Amino acid sequence: MTTIEGLRAPEVAGRSRARFRFGWRELRGWRLTWSQARRLLVSLILGWAALALTISVLPGVSASTHWDVLLAAALVGVVAAALRPVLTSFALLLGWVGVLIAGVFAQAGLFYLALILSPGIRVAGFWDAFWASWLYAVLIGLGNWFVSAGDETAFLSHVIRHAGGSGPRAGSDDPTPTPGMVVVQIDGLSAPLLRWAVRSGDLPTLSRWVRSGSHTLADWHATLPSTTPASQAGLLHGASAAIPAFRWYEKDSGRLLVASRPADAKVIQERLSDGAGLLADGGVSVSNIFSGDAPTALLTMSGLAGGVRDVTHRRGPSRNFASFLITPYGLVRSLTLTIGEMVKEVYQARRQRMRQIEPRINRGGAYIVLRGVTNVLLRDLNVGLIAEHMMRGANAVFCDFTDYDEIAHHAGPTRPESMASLAGVDRVLAILEHVAEQAQRPYRLVVLSDHGQSQGATFRQRYGRTLEDLVRELMAARMMTASTGREEEWGPVTTFLDQLGTQQGVTGNVTRRVLRARARSGHTHLSQADAAASAPGAAPAGERPDLVVIASGNLGMVYFARRSGRLTVEEIEAAYPGLLAGLADHPGIGFAVALSAAHGLVALGAAGVHFLDEDRVDGEDPLTPFGPRAAADLRRHGRLRHVGDVVLNSRIDPGTDEVAAFEELVGCHGGLGGWQTEALLLHPADLAVDDGPLIGADAVHHQLIRWLEKLGARRLPATVRDVG
């Protein structure tokens, strides 16, 4: 850190001089084109109409004539363009808090000033101007949406304009600049579903890429566990073997780890990082669980552990992103669309109930707000951050968009609202494609997923009890800890708040106080037993529960917490007679995996046993419905550190391939069955897959590194890990 801090002053000074030269060249070469003049005219007409409607609705603002309104609309644009940079500078002094305050009040202040300067316009007071400014901004947004038929033209132009000031076009002095790579992860999207969506033409950007031949769509197999933490550990670090599930118990420390909790993610990050991750050579991590050893980690769950701090972002947002938020197309647009997304969720959930669509789950409560935040606010934030670092010339950018995965969990992977969210990510790709055309170096766009999703009524809906209820009945456990909650959906919001809490100054102080108050009030997503089990440090065996039951989608694991090491089938039968048979015989369980002292790993089913290490089957093979790779996946997963004493996978329904999640999610992933293990990799056609098929996230990681090396965007040696 000392070296970086010492270089900070000359680095920033050099960037400022370069930024000035870049801005002067752009200004000197600017010419008003017919297209620009047409956009200005349309903007003026929309502003005129929006201001006239605002004045007619709100009593605190009035005008003498329509021409006065037209002049006022023009002045609003001029005043905002002239003074917004000054307001942005003041807002940045307070960090994120200042930017958010400016986003709420700056437009009102500029609006008030413009109306005062306009002849024939009367304003009763500031608060009248405040409400008028918000109504005006909303009407402008709706007008642009109507004129542009709902595309992202206005948003795109503002993203490029404000990201473009980040620095000079370093590649402009180099006739053949080295290409960079942008990797967009569409969380939870299966390859079969994307193929269907491309054929339907409902994803214009991805369909165009595939049909034109510029990109090739390939599959890759997400090995067990098919969940985001394991896949990102593989994609970003080549170390998927470090994670046995979304949440797991560690007997040696008596601790329950949940990958979506920032504190736990930092612990896991330290285990993964070797300094040679996917993004180690000048890369940027945006909205991921792990950093990939990126020098710049933004909205990354694990924080900055394992990577170099980004000194340009320690004290808050960059000037470019702050300036974007203060525009009408920034915060006001995002908030308006967020509220609209929440209204859509209420309507769509009610539509499912009225039409009696099955399977379905309750979609009320906090999820309504979470959908709006993840599907609009965080998506816009991600786009702005990616665009900014593309314009800065980052070697590689990796960003996880959780929009589709979040909605598919609650609505179902193929339901209309889930597909609409996928269309939104497709529009994001179109924006990034245009940003790449304006960036200082060429960029190759790669799209991948971390896993797919499978659908089905939940275990509790089918059988009237949860997985932990079933285990408790079979064992009569005295002390039992269960972690089968839905922490994953809170991940992106928790990350954003945690990132704010690390800031210095007013922003960090305010956020830390809010988080502490929230913790004291008991607003956590884990039970008290979970909290005790996840406390740092080794818990004495006598203070541990008899049993820990966890669930990750339709994958469950059972730990005998007071017994060291992994218990064998023989030991479990001796201590708890009938437990394994009771689990394997249950109609909601597809198979149970345990370690036999005599036969190694075995998969137990209701009518047969698959001896995994001996590669033989006695009776009916319980793995047949789960595909040809099931045995190999279980052999690998069964040898991972911290895997459960008993591993459970739900049933799969013949004919529909529906599974029974142990969590209350209609769309799930984590285990085997259906599309959840069928991930995708959409890559430029000239960057071919060296060895196929790609099995596991680690294989995709090494392929991405080879592409970066081929492009000349990576010079660090890759670390080849033992993935067994």
CA dist., res. 72 & res. 75, Å (int):
5
CA dist., res. 656 & res. 455, Å (int):
9
465 in a structural domain? yes
Predicted pLDDT at 461:
96
* Residue 199: pLDDT band with limits 50, 70, 90: very high
Predicted pLDDT at 380:
82
Compute the average pLDDT of residues 557-564.
91
Q: Give the residue from 676, 635, 644 showing the smallest Cα distance to 659.
A: 676
* Residue 74: pLDDT band with limits 50, 70, 90: confident
21 in a structural domain? no
191, pLDDT greater than 80: yes
* Residue pointed to by tokens 């990799």: 681
Predicted pLDDT at 182:
98
- The mean pLDDT value of the chain amounts to 80
* Residue 702: pLDDT band with limits 50, 70, 90: very high
Compute the average pLDDT of residues 293-298.
91
Compute the average pLDDT of residues 73-80.
77
Instruction: List the structure tokens of 688.
Output: 């071919």
CA dist., res. 241 & res. 225, Å (int):
10
* Residue 323: pLDDT band with limits 50, 70, 90: low
482 in a structural domain? yes
262 in a structural domain? no
| Residue 216 β-bridge partners | 683
Residue 357 shares a structural domain with residue 470: no
Single-letter amino acid code for the residue at 329:
Y
208 in a structural domain? yes
Residue 579 shares a structural domain with residue 445: no
306, pLDDT greater than 90: no
* Residue 370: pLDDT band with limits 50, 70, 90: confident
Predicted pLDDT at 227:
95
Residue 129 shares a structural domain with residue 228: no
Residue 310 shares a structural domain with residue 392: yes
Residue 145 shares a structural domain with residue 92: yes
Torsion of CA 267, 270, 273, 274, to 10 degrees: -160
Predicted pLDDT at 6:
34
Q: Give the residue from 292, 275, 270, 272 showing the smallest Cα distance to 283.
A: 292
704, pLDDT greater than 50: yes
Q: Where are the beta strands (DSSP E) in 90-131?
A: 121-123
Residue range 248-292, pLDDT digits in tens: 999 988 889 998 888 899 999 999 999 999 999 999 999 999 999
Residue 532 shares a structural domain with residue 416: no
Identify the helix (H) or strand (E) that includes residue 646: strand 646-650
Predicted pLDDT at 693:
87
Collapsed DSSP state (helix, strand, coil) of residue 557: strand
Q: Which domain holds residue 143?
A: 32-150
Residues in CB range of 384: below 8 A, 6 or more apart: 159, 162, 163, 320, 321, 324
Residue 313 shares a structural domain with residue 288: yes
Q: Give the residue from 77, 80, 134 showing the smallest Cα distance to 105.
A: 134
Among 128-137, 392-401, 480-489, 516-525, the range with the most confident prediction by mean pLDDT is 392-401
Residue 620 shares a structural domain with residue 704: no
Collapsed DSSP state (helix, strand, coil) of residue 285: strand
Residue 337 shares a structural domain with residue 449: yes
Residue range 423-462, pLDDT digits in tens: 999 999 999 999 998 888 999 999 999 999 999 999 999 9
Residue 395 shares a structural domain with residue 479: no
510, pLDDT greater than 90: no
Compute the average pLDDT of residues 614-628.
96
pTM for this predicted structure:
0.80
* Residue 329: pLDDT band with limits 50, 70, 90: low
CA dist., res. 666 & res. 424, Å (int):
22
314, pLDDT greater than 60: no
Give the burial class of 1: count Cβ atoms within 10 A of its Cβ; 0-12 exposed, 13-18 middle, 19 or more buried: exposed
Whether the CB-CB separation of 445 and 433 falls below 8 Å is answered with yes
Q: Give the residue from 398, 388, 267, 234 showing the smallest Cα distance to 325.
A: 388
Vertex 683, ends 681 and 689: CA angle to 5°? Answer: 80
Predicted pLDDT at 485:
52
* Residue 4: pLDDT band with limits 50, 70, 90: very low
253 in a structural domain? no
Residue 680 shares a structural domain with residue 556: no
248 in a structural domain? no
Residue 586 shares a structural domain with residue 614: yes
Out of 105-109, 291-295, 420-424, 470-474, which region has the weakest mean confidence (pLDDT)? 105-109
Compute the average pLDDT of residues 539-567.
84
First to last CA, the chain: 35
698 in a structural domain? yes
Residue scoring higher pLDDT (138 or 277)? 277
309, pLDDT greater than 60: no
Number of domains in the chain: 3
Residue scoring higher pLDDT (567 or 67)? 567
